[in-house]
Each structure stands twice: as C-alpha cells, then as structure tokens.
Chain A
Amino acid sequence: MSWFSKFLGSSIGRKLLMSLTGLFLISFLPVHLAGNLQLLAGDGGEAFNTYAEFMTTNPLIKFISYGLYFFILLHTFLGVRIWLRNRSAKGSKYAVSSTGTSSFSSRNMAWLGIIIFAFLVLHLYQFWLKMKMGVLEKVNVAGLDEPVNNLYAPVEAAFTDPIYVIIYVIAMIVIGFHLWHGFQSSFQTLGLNHKKYTPVIKGLGAIYSIVVPLGFIVIPIVFYLRHAM
C-alpha cells in the first residue's frame, strides 16, 4: 500500500477528509444563503432569477458546483462508514449510560447527517432538478436579452405549502445542531487547538450554527406569512 492511501485510510486520515469536506460545506452555506435572501426582494423574483441564471451558466461557478456535489457525497459516504465502524468498535451498550459529559450534537452527528441528506435529496429534486431538466417556464428579466428560467415560481409554490415549510424549518434546525458540534470539531480534527484561538473558533461556531440556519428559516416563513395574509 502506498504511504498516501495508507494515510487516507487511517483513522486520522479519514477524519481529515471529513473535516475538510465539512469545512467546504460550511463555506458554501453563507453563499447559498446570500443568494436565497434575494427571494425577499419583493420584485416578483426578478433579482433571484437573474442570480439563478448566473449561478447555472457561469463556468467557474459550474466548476465549483461539481466539486460541491462530489464533496457532499464524499462527506456523506465517509460519515456513514465512520459511523458504522465506530458502532462496531463500541460493540455492546451499557445497562446504565451517562450523557451528561458530552453534547447531544456530538453523539448524534450521523443521525443529524442522515436527516440532512434526506432533506438534500428532496431539496435537489424540487428545485435543482427542475432547473436542469429545463421544464421551468421562461421569463424576461431586466439586463438580459434571452428569457431565463423562472426558478422563483416553484420556490414560491413550495414556500407557501405549510408541509414543505415545516420540513424546511426542521431541516435547517438539524443543520444547526450538526454544525453546533461540527464547526469546532473540524478544527480539532485538523489539529488546530490553541489556547488563544480555540475559544474564538468555538464562539464563531456557535454564532454560525445559529445565525446561518436562522437566515434560511426566515425566507419560507416570510413567504408563508405574506401568502397567508
């Protein structure tokens, strides 16, 4: 076995991949959120559709998005494998178990991740696939000659459906819990534990895991309330 595959197959090597893919996803979420916030512009979707057009046609963004699909799959695949191996390494359970010495999130990363993955499948099916298949109606937006996909329409339809809004809100809370532990954990995995910086990383992680999911949650809630009123 070459030193490199041995390294990546080791417990620390696998965790390194988990951490790097997780950090990549962490850096992606605020970008996604910034785009989504344009849904609230109140312009019938013009800003959002222009942005969606840019995101699906710009070659650099396209390249990064293939990386994103790959990293989501890698993170999920590795996460499930690590989880299964850890379960068999633990073997039997205690008759009395204590949970006071660790956080809920840290003990349930895999379950939280599996819920996130299930949501991602639904999410991609609902919006991304429609965009890719070209089944969306075309609309004209200011500044572009060709009409663009009206992604705003299915988003509006979804966000005014109470069932989907509830699913969406729950999924964002689950992401929040995943990152409550995951954010700081990924730095520890990389060996970055430092007297001066670790408290800062932990603080940032706590803020991130509340603010970012909350940002996503606000959008469907606003849509739903606007629609209901």
Chain B
Amino acid sequence: MKLTLKVWRQNGPNDKGNLETHQVEASEHMSFLEMMDVLNENLISEKKTPVAFEHDCREGICGTCNMVINGRPHGPQKGTTVCQLHMRAFKDGDTIVVEPWRASAFPVIKDLVVDRSPFDRIIQAGGYISVNTGQAQDANAIPIEKDLASQAFDAATCIGCGACVAACPNGSAMLFTSAKVAHLNMLPQGEVESSKRVLNMVNQMDEEGFGMCSNVGACEAECPKEISITNIALMNREYLTASLASNTTT
C-alpha cells in the first residue's frame, strides 16, 4: 500500500517544528512501527536524519511507542498501542498525520519523542508501598474479594504511556494518577499509606503543571488499556477524605 505520511519534525524543545511530507510503501501486515521503520530506512539511505520515535517492547506493555495518528493518541483502533496497531487499519493512498503528544508538561525532546519524566516523579511521590513485603506471599494468604481484586488489577494495567494527557484538551494527568492511586489504595497492602499517597501524588501532579480535569472523557476513550474514569472519581474521593478527614497533613 502507498501512503503519504506527514510527520512532525522538531530538533529540540525550543525548535518551532513542522510537519514533513514523505511517501512510504508498506504492507498491511506491518505494524505501524514497522511502517515507521521503513520510512527511517528510506531516510537513512537518502542520507537524511531518521525520525526519532520511542519504542521498546512492541507488544503493548511498555508504554513508550507514543504518537498521535490523525489526531488520535495511539491511532484509530480502540484499546491498542501504536506498536499493536496494524496497517490494515488504513487504506491504500491514505494520508496519515503523525504528531507527538502535546502538553506543556511533556516537552518535545526530538520529533515524536517527548519527556514523560513528570510521570516518574508522580510515581516517586507515592506510587509504591514502603512496607517490607518479605518473600513472595502464598497466593491466598491475604484474602481479597474477587471484584475488588479485578478492579485493582484493571487500574494496574496502566502502562504509563501518557495518551490520556495527550488526548485531554486540558493536558490533565488525572487518568494516569488515578489509575496508580486506585490500584494501590484498593488493596490491603496499599491501604496503610492511602492518605499520604493520594495527597503526595496529587500534589506532585499539580506541581508538574498538568491541567485540571473537566470530566471530558477523551482520556478514557483513547487509553490503550481502557482505564476507566471511575478511577478519577475514586481518586477525588480519596483526596477529599484524606484532606478533610485524615490526620495526615503531608
């Protein structure tokens, strides 16, 4: 299939950047990243600089393959990362516009690569359990209701890709932060530090300059792991009770 690609090129955070047009021959069995590899091989053979983009696992678990494809973070297919998106989702002759995540807290490093270290700092602020858990537990040593375990697991599937921030017109990181808070605060091991966790993580999220949640819901629609905004309500609840009712002041 013949495609026209319009790819965002930007040399650094302070460069203005622009869309660059290229023609690519791809097969519909290729993943989107493989198609990008073809583009880069062409560029290299023309002695041009290849397009910088992040990728690692190529199986939908690392959360690095971040691109906005025709205006949609991770492209048109629901619940799918770019590496798992195949070219059969497009038609011969299509023009595809590829842009980086856009949010002030995620400055472009180069081309399609953005700096997502704000997410690392949000995790450092409370996305962990500080008790010594010792050896791996016997599976049923701590009884947890199945529904609760499933909910916590669903929240835990967040891969920290940042598509939620990219999709949000406010550049808000509430879906990501709430997935991490929900995952840990719902389980008995995490519950011990729940107040401190939610206060610190929300505080860090605000400090990083993310926007506020207007409950628009674009995050949930674009999230490759289909994290639900019910997690945001849960985080709001946890934050309100931790702020107003707990003894924790941080």
Contacts and interface: CB of A to CB of B under 8 A. Distances in A.
Interface string B141-152: 000000000000
Contacts of B99: 94-96
A84 to B, nearest CB: 10
B240 to A, nearest CB: 6
Contacts of B235: 12, 191
B212 A7 contact: no
Q: Is the interface of A mostly helix, strand, loop or mixed?
A: helix
Interface string A1-27: 001000100111111100000000000
B228 to A, nearest CB: 9
A16 B202 CA distance: 14
A94 to B, nearest CB: 6
Contacts of B240: 12, 16, 190-191
B203 A10 contact: yes
B190 interface: no
A38 interface: no
B237 A191 contact: yes
B97 interface: yes
B233 A90 contact: no
B117 interface: no
Contacts of B71: 94, 96-98
A167 to B, nearest CB: 27
A229 interface: no
B143 to A, nearest CB: 23
Interface in A164-208: 181, 184-185, 188-193
Of listed B71, B97, B174, residue having the most chain A CB within 10 A: B71
Interface residues of A, number: 38
Contacts of B211: 11, 85-86, 89-90
A11 B233 contact: no
A191 B229 contact: no
Given A10-B203, A82-B212, A102-B221, A189 B170 contact: no
A26 to B, nearest CB: 15
23 contacts: A3-B250, A10-B243, A11-B174, A13-B243, A88-B104, A89-B104, A89-B171, A94-B71, A94-B99, A96-B97, A98-B71, A101-B221, A102-B217, A102-B218, A103-B217, A106-B215, A109-B214, A185-B214, A188-B215, A188-B229, A191-B236, A192-B233, A193-B233
Given A10-B243, A95-B6, A189-B215, 20 more contacts: A7-B243, A11-B206, A11-B210, A11-B213, A15-B213, A16-B236, A82-B214, A89-B170, A89-B172, A89-B209, A90-B168, A91-B171, A94-B71, A94-B99, A98-B70, A181-B215, A189-B213, A190-B236, A191-B236, A193-B234
Interface of B: 6, 8, 19, 68, 70-72, 97, 99, 102-105, 167-172, 174, 202-203, 205-206, 209-218, 221-222, 229-230, 232-240, 243-244, 249-250
